A and B are shown apart, each in its own frame.
Chain A
Amino acid sequence: MTFRTRVLLAFAPVVLVPLLVFGIGVRRAVRDRLAAQYQRRVDALVAVIEEDLTQRSRSVGDRLGALTAAALEDNHLRAAAVQAVDRQYLLDYAGSAMRLAGLDMLQIQDANGRIVSSGHFRQEFDRLEPALPRLLATAPGGVALVRARTPEGAFLALARVDSLRLGGGRFTVVGGLAVDSAALARLARDSTLRVDLEYPGGVLASRASDTTAADEIVGEVPLAFVDGDSARLAPARIVVTAPLTALADVRRSMDVGFLVAVLATVAAAMLLGGWLASRVTRPLADLAETARRVDLERLDVAFGSERPDEIGALARLLGEMTERLRAGAARLRDTERRAAMGDLARQVNHDVRNGLAPLRNVLRHLVRVAREEPDQLPHVFAERQTTLESSLAYLETLATNYARLYPETRATPCDVNEVVRETLRLVAPPDGVRVDTTLADSLPRVRADAFVLRRILENLVRNAVEAIDGAAGAVTVTTEQRGGDGGSVRVTVADNGKGMTRPELERAFDDFYTTKPGGTGLGLSIVRRLVLDLNGSVKVETQPGQGTTFFVELPGEP
C-alpha cells in the first residue's frame, strides 16, 4: 500500500467520525426538542377539549333547563301529553323545541321510557328507551356520548338529561349537541393534530389518518358512552394524536443534508488528502526516481533541492552521498584507469613487441648479412623491405588506434557556443535532416579541451543525425546557463528520431554496445567518459518513436 493510499485512508476516519458524531447528536437533540414541543401541544389541546366538553355540557344543561321551563308553561303541550289531545302537536313539539334551543338531539320520554316526541327523529315515537335517561343520570358529570338514531342513520351527540312533571306524570328530556368529524376538526384547531373519538363499535376522526407517521404522541379525554339499546355505560375516549410527521420530515431533511455534507466532506477530504499526499510524496518519488538512476557507472545525477524542509535535507544528503560516491567512483575509475593503463601498457608492450619482433629479426638479418655477406646486403634488404614496411604500418595503425581510444586532453577556458558552431560546420547532415541551434548569450566558459568538447558534441550530433535514420527530421542543439555566476553550462542535443527502448537506454553508455550496423559501440562510452573527465554530467531522456535528448552539463569557469 503506497504512502498516498495510507494518507487517503487515514483521512476518512479522521473526517467522518467527528461528522457522524455531530450528525447523530444533532438528530437526537432535534427529535427530543420536537417531541417535547408536540407533547406540550397535545397536553394543551387535551386541556382545551376538556374545557370545551365542560362548556358544551353546561350549555346543553342550560338549554334543557330553559326547554323544560317553557314546556311547563305550554298548556297545549300539557293537554297533548296528559289528555292525549292533538297528538300531532306533541309529536312535532320536540322538533320545534330542538331547533329553537339550538340542539341537535332532543327526545322526550314518559315515565315508562316511551318516546313521546323526538326532535331528531320525529317518527321514532312510541319506541321504548328507558335506559337512556337513567344511564345519563348516572354518567360522570351527568353528560355522556349518546348514539342517537335518525332515519338516515345514527349520529353521536354529547347529551344530558333533564325532567319535568306534567299533570302528575314525570317526563324526561334528553338533549344534546352533535359530535361529528367537523366538530372534532374544530376541536383540533391545529391541522397538525388529529382528534379521534373512539367509542364501542366505531371511531370518528377529525381527519383522515396519516398512515405514514410511524411515531405519534397521544393524549386522551375519557367519556361515558350510551348506545340507544344498551343497558349500561360504556367507556369512550377522545384521543388527541400528534403524528410526528413534521419530525420525520425534519429528520429526512437532516439526513439528506447530512448525506450531502458527508459526501462533500469525503470528496473534499479525498481531494485535500490527495493533494497533501501528492505534495509529500512527489518529491520523495522524484528522489526515488533519481536515486534509482544512481549506480557506480552513473553518478552524474543531481539531487539538488532548494527546499528548506526534511525532504530538501534528504535530497541534499543524497546529493552529498552521491557526491561522495562520485568521488569514490572517480577514484575507482582512476584505479581502474591505472589498471587499464597497465593492461593497455602491457597490450601496447605486447603489440609493440609483436610489431618490433619482425623488425628486430630483419635488422639482425641485415646486420648478419652486412657482416658476413656485404655484397648481398642490397639484395637482402630489398628482399626484407616488405617485411619492414608491413611491420611499420602495423605499428602506425596500432598507434592510431590507441590514440583514438584515449586522446590527450589540454584543458583551457573554452567557449561552448564556438565549439558548437565549429562542430556543426564539420557535420554534414543528410538530405531531409535539419540541424537547428538555440545558443544562449553570455554563456560562462568551461574548462575543457576544445578538441575533447568537440569530440563529445560530434559524437552526440552524429548519433542524433543517425537516429533520424534517413527520414525527414530535425536535430536541435541548445546551450543554456544553469545556476548563477559560476554555474554550469548545459548543452542539449535533441532529435525526433526513432528513440530508444528501455533496454537500449540501459546499455547506451556501455563500451562496444551498438545498435547500428558497422558501429564500434564506443561513441557514447567515450562521450560519457570524456564528460566525466570534465567533471560534468550527461543525462538522456528518450521515448521510442519520438526521439532522444542528451543533456550535457559542464561546470562553468568561475
Chain B
Amino acid sequence: MIAPRCALLGALVTAAACAPRGAPGPGFLVPPPRSIAPPSACDVPGDAAAAPDTLSVAVPGAVDPAHAPVPVTGGERVLFRQLYETLLRLDCEGRLHPALAAAWSTPDGGRTWTLTIADSARFWDGVPVGARDVIAAWGTAISAVAESTAATGDHTLTVRWRRPAPEGPVAIADPALAVAKRVPGIAWPIGTGAYWVSGVTADLTAAPVGGARRPVLRWRPAGGDQRDLLDAGVDLLVTDDPGAVAYAATRADFSSVPLPWDRTYVLLAPVPVRAPAPILEDLARHAVRVEARPASPPFWWQDSTCGAGPPPGTASIVRSGSAIVFVQGDAVARDLADRLVALSLDAQPRRAVGVLPEALAGRLAARGDDWFVVSVPRTALDACAAWSPGLWGSGITPLLDVRRRMLVRHGGARLSIDWDAVPRIR
C-alpha cells in the first residue's frame, strides 16, 4: 500500500516541481469558510472606467490542451482557471463563493454535502450543466476526498466526504474537479468558465462566453526575457523574475501586486535537519533569487488528524548516497541545494544532483541517505488526501515560502485572487 501512495505523492511533487510556482494540490486549508462575502483583499482593484476590450496576458509555462481541465504548468493554471469552473470557488482568504453551484448545505455536520447547480450554469455550447455532467466530469478524481457521490436530481447532487468538512465543501474548489466535457475531434474540452478558447497555436485568444462584458484575453508566450514582454505591451504578467519586477518598478504604467505565498520549499531527509532561523533567513535573503521568506507555519502536512502518526524512525534507512537532489529546471530548488552543500549542515560532504522531474519519484523511493529539496503547495484543500507515509515518513524541514507577483498595466481588467494564488479575471 505504501508504494502506490508513494508513487502518487512522487507524481504530485514532480508535477509541483515542474511548475515554477503554485501547483494546486488536492486539498486544503485553513481559515473557516464563510458564505458569500463582500469584496475583500482578494480583489485587485482595476480601472472600471477603462473597460479594455482586450487583455494581453503572459504567464510562464507552456499551455497544452491535452492537460485541460487539470493544469500542470503555471501558464495552464492561470488560463484554465478562466476556462473551467468548479462548483464552488475559494478565494485567497478561504471564503467559499458560488460558482456553478448556487447553494450548498449539509444535513449531518459536514460529512455529507448537497450542492444545487445554478440554473445559469452552462457549458460553452450553451448546454445546461446537470448533476450527472458534474459527476461524469469528476471521474475518479473525487475519490481522493469523497467516499461517494450521487445525483439526487437534475441539478442536485450529494457528496459524502471521507472526513467531516464542517467548514464547508472546500475540496470542491480544487481545479482537479473543474467541470468540463470532452468532445471527439475538438482539442479543448468544452468548459464551463467565463471564457472559451479554440485552436492550439502558441498565441491563444480566449473570448468571453455568451458575449459577457469582459475583455478578450490574448495569451502570449512568456519565454525569454520577461522585461521584453512588458515592453511589448503585455497587460498582465505573472512572474517571479526579480529582474522583471525591478523593471516594472521603473515603469509608471505598471503596478506590482504580490500574490499570496503559494509554494513552500522543504528539505526531505532521513531524519529532520536542524535549520536555525539565521540559516533560513540566509536562504531566503541571499541563496535564492526570487521573493522568499523563511517558511512560516502552520504547515498542512503537520495535520495530525489524518492519523499518520509521527514520522518513522531511521532504522530502515539504507545509506546509499550523499546527494542533495533537486528537480532540473527549478532554479530555486537548485539554489537551495547548492547553498545546503556549501553549508554542510550535517557535516557530511554532499553534492547537488539534478534529476529529471519524471525521475524524482523513483529517486525518492530509493533515496537512501540522500536529501531532497522539493517544492510543495503552501496550502492543501485536504491534507489527508495529500498525506503519504511513504513520502513523508522522514524528516521534513521547511525552508522557504515563495510567491510570485502580478505586474498589471494600469487601466487593465479587474482581478481577484483564488485560494491557490491564481488570478481570475473578473
In the complex the two chains form, is B289's CB within 8 Å of A123's CB? no
In the complex the two chains form, is B353's CB within 8 Å of A123's CB? no
Report B-chain residues with C-beta under 8 Å of the C-beta of A153: 351
Which one of A87, A88, A92, A151 lies within 8 Å of B341 (CB-CB)? A151
A122 at the interface (CB under 8 A from B): yes
Contacts A91-B286, A123-B287, A123-B335; A152 near B351 (Cβ below 8 A): yes
In the complex the two chains form, is B342's CB within 8 Å of A127's CB? yes
| A10-47 contact mask (Cβ, 8 Å, vs B): 1 or 0 | 00000000000000000000000000000000000000
Report B-chain residues with C-beta under 8 Å of the C-beta of A123: 287, 335, 338-339, 341-342
Report A-chain residues with C-beta under 8 Å of the C-beta of B335: 122-123
> Which of A87, A91, A122, A151 has its CB near the most chain B CB atoms (within 10 A)?
A151
In the complex the two chains form, is B286's CB within 8 Å of A124's CB? no
| B310-350 contact mask (Cβ, 8 Å, vs A): 1 or 0 | 00000000000000100000000011011101100000000
Q: Nearest-CB distance from A292 to chain B (Å)?
A: 94
In the complex the two chains form, is B289's CB within 8 Å of A88's CB? yes
B380 at the interface (CB under 8 A from A): no
Enumerate 22 A-B pairs (CB-CB under 8 Å) in ascending A order.
A87-B285, A87-B286, A88-B289, A122-B335, A122-B338, A123-B287, A123-B335, A123-B338, A123-B339, A123-B341, A124-B342, A125-B286, A127-B342, A149-B342, A151-B324, A151-B337, A151-B338, A151-B341, A151-B342, A151-B351, A152-B351, A153-B351
Report A-chain residues with C-beta under 8 Å of the C-beta of B353: 152
Complex-state Cα separation, A149 to B324, whole angstroms = 15
A121 at the interface (CB under 8 A from B): yes
Report A-chain residues with C-beta under 8 Å of the C-beta of B337: 151
B145 at the interface (CB under 8 A from A): no
| B352-367 contact mask (Cβ, 8 Å, vs A): 1 or 0 | 1100000000000000
| B284-321 contact mask (Cβ, 8 Å, vs A): 1 or 0 | 01110100000000000000000000000000000000
In the complex the two chains form, is A151's CB within 8 Å of B286's CB? no
Complex-state Cα separation, A125 to B287, whole angstroms = 9
In the complex the two chains form, is A121's CB within 8 Å of B286's CB? no
> Which of B338, B339, B342 has its CB near the most chain A CB atoms (within 10 A)?
B342
Complex-state Cα separation, A151 to B353, whole angstroms = 8
| A147-167 contact mask (Cβ, 8 Å, vs B): 1 or 0 | 001011100000000000000
Report A-chain residues with C-beta under 8 Å of the C-beta of B289: 88, 92
Question: Nearest CB to that of B334 among chain A residues?
Answer: A151
Question: Nearest CB to that of B340 among chain A residues?
Answer: A123
Complex-state Cα separation, A125 to B324, whole angstroms = 18
Complex-state Cα separation, A123 to B279, whole angstroms = 13
In the complex the two chains form, is A152's CB within 8 Å of B286's CB? no
Complex-state Cα separation, A300 to B411, whole angstroms = 147
In the complex the two chains form, is B286's CB within 8 Å of A88's CB? yes
Count of interface residues, chain A, beta-carbon cutoff 8 Å = 14
Report A-chain residues with C-beta under 8 Å of the C-beta of B285: 87
| A113-125 contact mask (Cβ, 8 Å, vs B): 1 or 0 | 0000000011111
| A58-87 contact mask (Cβ, 8 Å, vs B): 1 or 0 | 000000000000000000000000000001
Report A-chain residues with C-beta under 8 Å of the C-beta of B286: 87-88, 91, 125
Report B-chain residues with C-beta under 8 Å of the C-beta of A149: 342
Q: Nearest-CB distance from B18 to chain A (Å)?
A: 21
Complex-state Cα separation, A88 to B243, whole angstroms = 12
Q: Nearest-CB distance from B330 to chain A (Å)?
A: 14
Complex-state Cα separation, A307 to B335, whole angstroms = 107
Which 8 A-B pairs have CB atoms at the shortest separation, nearest pair first?
A: A151-B352, A123-B339, A123-B338, A151-B338, A124-B342, A123-B342, A151-B341, A153-B351
Question: Nearest CB to that of A125 among chain B residues?
Answer: B286
Complex-state Cα separation, A366 to B342, whole angstroms = 169
Report B-chain residues with C-beta under 8 Å of the C-beta of A122: 335, 338
Complex-state Cα separation, A127 to B289, whole angstroms = 20
Question: Nearest CB to that of B344 among chain A residues?
Answer: A127
Q: Nearest-CB distance from B310 to chain A (Å)?
A: 32
Sample of 10 more A-B contacts, CB < 8 Å, known A123-B341, A127-B342, A151-B324: A87-B285, A88-B242, A91-B286, A121-B338, A122-B335, A123-B287, A123-B335, A123-B342, A125-B286, A151-B337
Complex-state Cα separation, A123 to B287, whole angstroms = 6
Q: Nearest-CB distance from A132 to chain B (Å)?
A: 15
Q: Nearest-CB distance from B33 to chain A (Å)?
A: 40
Q: Nearest-CB distance from A78 to chain B (Å)?
A: 19
Q: Nearest-CB distance from A80 to chain B (Å)?
A: 12
Report B-chain residues with C-beta under 8 Å of the C-beta of A125: 286, 342
Complex-state Cα separation, A124 to B341, whole angstroms = 8
Report A-chain residues with C-beta under 8 Å of the C-beta of B324: 151
Q: Nearest-CB distance from A145 to chain B (Å)?
A: 21
Complex-state Cα separation, A401 to B286, whole angstroms = 151
> Which of A92, A122, A127 has its CB near the most chain B CB atoms (within 10 A)?
A122
Complex-state Cα separation, A87 to B289, whole angstroms = 11
Q: Nearest-CB distance from A105 to chain B (Å)?
A: 15
Question: Nearest CB to that of B285 among chain A residues?
Answer: A87
Report A-chain residues with C-beta under 8 Å of the C-beta of B287: 123
Q: Nearest-CB distance from A251 to chain B (Å)?
A: 46
Complex-state Cα separation, A162 to B133, whole angstroms = 72
In the complex the two chains form, is B342's CB within 8 Å of A152's CB? no
| B6-18 contact mask (Cβ, 8 Å, vs A): 1 or 0 | 0000000000000
Complex-state Cα separation, A125 to B339, whole angstroms = 9
Question: Nearest CB to that of B326 among chain A residues?
Answer: A151
Report A-chain residues with C-beta under 8 Å of the C-beta of B342: 121, 123-125, 127, 149, 151
Report B-chain residues with C-beta under 8 Å of the C-beta of A87: 285-286
| A88-118 contact mask (Cβ, 8 Å, vs B): 1 or 0 | 1001100000000000000000000000000
> Which of B242, B338, B353 has its CB near the most chain A CB atoms (within 10 A)?
B338
Report B-chain residues with C-beta under 8 Å of the C-beta of A124: 342
Report A-chain residues with C-beta under 8 Å of the C-beta of B341: 123, 151
Complex-state Cα separation, A123 to B331, whole angstroms = 13
Question: Nearest CB to that of B282 among chain A residues?
Answer: A126
Q: Nearest-CB distance from B332 to chain A (Å)?
A: 12
Report A-chain residues with C-beta under 8 Å of the C-beta of B352: 151-152
Complex-state Cα separation, A152 to B355, whole angstroms = 12
Q: Nearest-CB distance from A427 to chain B (Å)?
A: 113
Q: Nearest-CB distance from B250 to chain A (Å)?
A: 15
